[in-house]
Structure 1
Amino acid sequence: MMKLAIGIICLLFAYLLEGQSIEQVKFTGRAELMLELTHRYKSNYLTISHHQFRMAFTELHPYQSDLDEIVTEKHSFHGHTWMIDILPDYGDDQGLVTPIGFDYYGGLYYSKVLSNDQGGHTSMINYLSAENELYADIIPGLVNHSGLQSGALSKNERYMILSTQGAYTHGKEDLYVIEYLGSSWGHMTNLGSIVNTKDQEITPYLATDNKTLFFSSDRTGGKGGYDIYMTERLDDTWQNWTRPINVSEVNSIQSETSFCFVETDPFAYFIRSDKLDVYGDIMEIPIEQSIVEDSSFTEIVDVIEKAYFKVVDGVTERAIASELVIVEDYDQRQNESGIFEAEELVGKTLIFKSSGYFSSKLKVGESVPKGENIIFLQPLTTGSSITLENVLFKRATANILTSSYEQLDLLVEVMNENPDLNIRLKGHTDNKGNPVSNLELSQNRVDAVADYLRNKGINRRRISGIGYGGKYPIASNETEETRQLNRRVEFEIME
């Protein structure tokens, strides 16, 4: 009865949120296909220029296996001639490129993510000038654990909003801000827990006031796979925002991403795709907008100032009493509020623990984003499943990569600390290849992980396992970046 009451309250709350109006943007008609582009291939990651009538987006071509490319054409859109640009595929062909934004002179900022055979990723932000001069990796030190990355450039070119899976994300991809400091770009600052959730926040768009932010998310309570949301920044910390509103005029039971518009055009644009497929059609919707452009620059304080870690329950997202272990210093700290100051933890290896939760291990980089950096701990409750992050295998084999040992050793430690904990390992693959072979491979990988745990002293009676092959995907199998999410090993808590 209690669960039913809570469910009704949540539905009512979602209904009230959806009914809120967005004062800055009024929708004056229905979303329609952008007919000028319907002959093209499936599209994604759309951006338009504030300065010229230019548009850039990625396409997945049938002759490509997994790759996007940014393409070019000219069309007359609503009385204007738009330029849809091609971006040469510099470097490794396995790179996923996504446009971020145009500068005043027509240069294009774009993201590129390179993936290796071991499941790792290298991310960079590149700049291609209007004269086709390439400036690669202009923001050194980017950390991204995902094969996906998207972003947006502010009109005054002062801020860049990135969607990436950094070291301190609330879940999967989070939104971060980076400020241009006059000669270089600064550090990433997480936009905080009001905007970011344990799900994906992707394809941001920052309006000209540098306060109104649109983004797409697959968080609970939406209409489809991904919905467009709007929020407004309340102060200069980039941590305080209004609660995101579902943009109901745009969203459907399908997925909507890459919402964007410019003040000189009476239309907004976005991508609509199937619920599980990130590629779709370019849509347009008539709008009236009354956003006042920001003509000032906001100073962001040093990112290390007032930075802290906050340990929360991975389901309820409530702060929990926890223990911090600093590996290099053999130092253990307790905090009932789950909050730990981060300034002296730079460069350290940290383990966050709490009774009844699966621990989390983190190597802190050279700096920590200011404000709260959320650490999610998953509860060890009967029936719950926890994905073993960064447990990787040599391609098409059950041979565990040495980089996986750290995560597996963490599981061994948790099982030693909880002697009554029994688990069932569950192996999953993507849907590529022979289903029978995939089923066998997933079982072999489960057996390999079980053997590792037994060799570390865990009693075999506490471990069971089963391989499911590609039967239970958690993401689309259409691209390599989403297929990798389906190749995973989980453990389920048993009675």
Structure 2
Amino acid sequence: MKLAIVILCLLSVYLSEGQSIEQVKFTGRAELMLELTHRYKSNYLTISHHQYRMAFTELHPYESDLDEIVTEKHNFHGHTWMIDILPDYGDDQGLVTPIGFDYYGGLYYNKVLSDEVGGHISTINYLSNNNILYEDVIPDLVNQSGLQSGGLSKNDRFMILSTQGAFTHGKDDLYVIEYIENNWSHMTNLGSVVNTKYQEITPFLATDNKTLFFASDRQGGKGGYDIYMTERLDDTWQNWTRPINVSEVNSIQSETSFCFIETDPFAYFIRSDELDVYGDIMEIPIKQNIVEDSSFTEIIDVYKKSYFKVVDGASENNIPAELIIVEDFITRKKESGIFEAEDLVGKTLVFKSAGYFSSKLKVGESVPLGENIIYLQPLTAGSSITLENVLFERATANILTSSYEQLDLLVEVMNENPDLNIRLKGHTDNKGNPVSNLELSQNRVDAVADYLRNKGINRRRISGIGYGGKYPIASNETEETRQLNRRVEFEIME
């Protein structure tokens, strides 16, 4: 009996470690790709299904031409590869990430720039093989995180995007769009099996248009980001198998941008160094068993309408809610917490429920079809709520004007709940001097407290403390996860 239990336990570990992947078998160990080891660190890798061609970003901290794409030739695995290198400037100037090459050799890529008020402007661009640059229009494309990545299908028909919109499950979700009649479709969220409250980034769709690889920093992984694999179950693009950790690739460091083509016996990915998300290009030998998709079935829209569903941020259960349409001075109440969204395009909305912290958002030109979840955090004693959009000038305690809307929402909630007392908590990442970080976090807490007091909140209801980088909620290994640690929270006091 004991032997049987041991065998079952070992089998469970065996399956959970990614060995049940039938589409791709790994025939060796991951090794550093010496042919592509440059003087700069690399990131965001993509590969062409049609030519021996690769594109990736390199961190060029002192360059200024954001649109520069450097093309080189390298020989490896018996073929001459074209290598397109896009400068990646990080948070200071923006972010450029490749999406994929189409049949004609053109390159799709993302560009994310910071605006003047602490937000982000995202575009998807297409550089043709004769160097003509276009900007593609993607309905519903909104980015609140400053990070965006993607992958293009071999038939150039589907694009998987990773971005943080108004209705994501977490920081960055995966969406699919389809190219129909010379236009990209509205974005469809891949659903809660794939997307979590953490980040899902760098998607790669295999030639069957069903097998999807992506990176995530979800719980249960080996490092900051791990590579996962899942398989699409139907044409809604919202039903998937449970993602499997690809253990042969993953390590205690971060792995992203896993990709391969059927004519090459290797897969490629990025493994970070110990200090940052930027790292080295790795290769690992594989054998694949993937049948290319030859069908032309369009994405099925199972939902004919767009609607918002308000849920408890802890339990994810529906809760009764109010919807306030700010411009029209209209309030709607629903016991179900479900509101049809077709007449809400372009409106500013506030979602409220008794005992919860309210949520405010500006609806864009359209609302994605189907269910758009609004998470409200319960105001229970001892719980901490992050002020998602409270931002400061770099390395100072000066609050950006884009933060006022979120802070005013906190003022409103405190006025509606006169017995609510809070403790503000300031956090930084672990970069820089720990003493300076501690002082900076305290100064930012004091700045937020002063703002609330100036809005009429009694000072006795507010306390605050800065913790510096003592309590991270994510890895400090990568820039994408470090930004989660730079935050201001408020704790509900007894």
- Specify the TM-score bucket, using the shorter chain as the normaliser: 0.7 to 0.9
Give the aligned CA root-mean-square deviation in angstroms.
3.2
How far apart are 1:305 and its partner, in Å?
Answer: 3.0
DSSP 3-state at the match of 2:448: helix
Question: In structure 2, do the counterparts of structure 1 residues 67 and 488 end up closer, same or farther at CA, with 3 Å as the change threshold?
Answer: farther
- The answer for the alignment partner of 1:453 in structure 2 is 452
**What TM-score do the two structures reach when normalised by structure 1?**
0.88
Conservation of the 8 A alpha-carbon contact between 1:56 and 1:71: no
The residue identity in structure 1 corresponding to 2:209 is N
Note the 1:154-169 alignment, pairs <5 A: 154-169=153-168
CA distance, structure 2, for counterparts of residue 255 and residue 242 of structure 1: 23
The residue identity in structure 2 corresponding to 1:256 is E
Q: Deviations over 1:323-367 (max 9, x none)?
A: 333333444344444332222332222222233322211211221
CA distance, structure 2, for counterparts of residue 458 and residue 244 of structure 1: 46
- The answer for the alignment partner of 2:228 in structure 1 is 229
Conservation of the 8 A alpha-carbon contact between 2:439 and 2:468: yes
CA distance, structure 1, for counterparts of residue 192 and residue 476 of structure 2: 29
Q: Deviations over 1:153-175 (max 9, x none)?
A: 11111111110111211110111
DSSP 3-state at the match of 2:404: helix
- Corresponding residue pairs, total: 484
Establish whether residue 127 from structure 1 lines up as the match of residue 126 from structure 2: yes
Establish whether residue 359 from structure 1 lines up as the match of residue 352 from structure 2: no
CA distance, structure 1, for counterparts of residue 402 and residue 272 of structure 2: 36
How far apart are 1:459 and its partner, in Å?
Answer: 2.0
Q: Deviations over 1:112-161 (max 9, x none)?
A: 11114532111111111111111135437631111111000111111111
The residue identity in structure 1 corresponding to 2:157 is R
Establish whether residue 189 from structure 1 lines up as the match of residue 188 from structure 2: yes
Note the 1:208-247 alignment, pairs <5 A: 208-247=207-246
CA distance, structure 1, for counterparts of residue 487 and residue 308 of structure 2: 27
How far apart are 1:446 and its partner, in Å?
Answer: 1.9
- The answer for the alignment partner of 2:403 in structure 1 is 404
CA distance, structure 2, for counterparts of residue 201 and residue 46 of structure 1: 15
Question: In structure 2, do the counterparts of structure 1 residues 109 and 142 end up closer, same or farther at CA, with 3 Å as the change threshold?
Answer: same
CA distance, structure 1, for counterparts of residue 79 and residue 292 of structure 2: 22
Conservation of the 8 A alpha-carbon contact between 2:118 and 2:400: no
Conservation of the 8 A alpha-carbon contact between 2:386 and 2:489: yes
Between 1:43-52 and 1:178-187, the stretch displaced more is 178-187
Note the 1:72-111 alignment, pairs <5 A: 72-87=71-86, 94-111=93-110
Question: In structure 2, do the counterparts of structure 1 residues 363 and 62 end up closer, same or farther at CA, with 3 Å as the change threshold?
Answer: closer
- The answer for the alignment partner of 1:295 in structure 2 is 294
How far apart are 1:435 and its partner, in Å?
Answer: 5.6
- The answer for the alignment partner of 1:5 in structure 2 is none
**What TM-score do the two structures reach when normalised by structure 2?**
0.88
How far apart are 1:483 and its partner, in Å?
Answer: 5.7
Between 1:398-407 and 1:298-307, the stretch displaced more is 298-307
What residue ranges of structure 2 are gaps of 5+ in the alignment?
Answer: 1-9
Question: In structure 2, do the counterparts of structure 1 residues 19 and 397 end up closer, same or farther at CA, with 3 Å as the change threshold?
Answer: closer
Q: Deviations over 1:276-301 (max 9, x none)?
A: 73111211112111211112323246
- The answer for the alignment partner of 1:265 in structure 2 is 264
Establish whether residue 492 from structure 1 lines up as the match of residue 482 from structure 2: no
How far apart are 1:68 and its partner, in Å?
Answer: 11
The residue identity in structure 1 corresponding to 2:128 is S
How far apart are 1:447 and its partner, in Å?
Answer: 2.0
How far apart are 1:251 and its partner, in Å?
Answer: 1.6
Between 1:239-248 and 1:104-113, the stretch displaced more is 239-248
Conservation of the 8 A alpha-carbon contact between 1:225 and 1:275: no
Conservation of the 8 A alpha-carbon contact between 1:306 and 1:371: yes
Establish whether residue 29 from structure 1 lines up as the match of residue 32 from structure 2: no
How far apart are 1:249 and its partner, in Å?
Answer: 2.0
- The answer for the alignment partner of 2:5 in structure 1 is none
Note the 1:2-13 alignment, pairs <5 A: none
CA distance, structure 2, for counterparts of residue 337 and residue 52 of structure 1: 52
- The answer for the alignment partner of 2:441 in structure 1 is 442
What residue ranges of structure 1 are gaps of 5+ in the alignment?
Answer: 1-10
CA distance, structure 2, for counterparts of residue 303 and residue 137 of structure 1: 26
Q: Deviations over 1:11-50 (max 9, x none)?
A: 9988754466122222222222223223543211011100
- The answer for the alignment partner of 1:6 in structure 2 is none
CA distance, structure 2, for counterparts of residue 380 and residue 396 of structure 1: 31
Establish whether residue 46 from structure 1 lines up as the match of residue 68 from structure 2: no
Question: In structure 2, do the counterparts of structure 1 residues 14 and 400 end up closer, same or farther at CA, with 3 Å as the change threshold?
Answer: farther
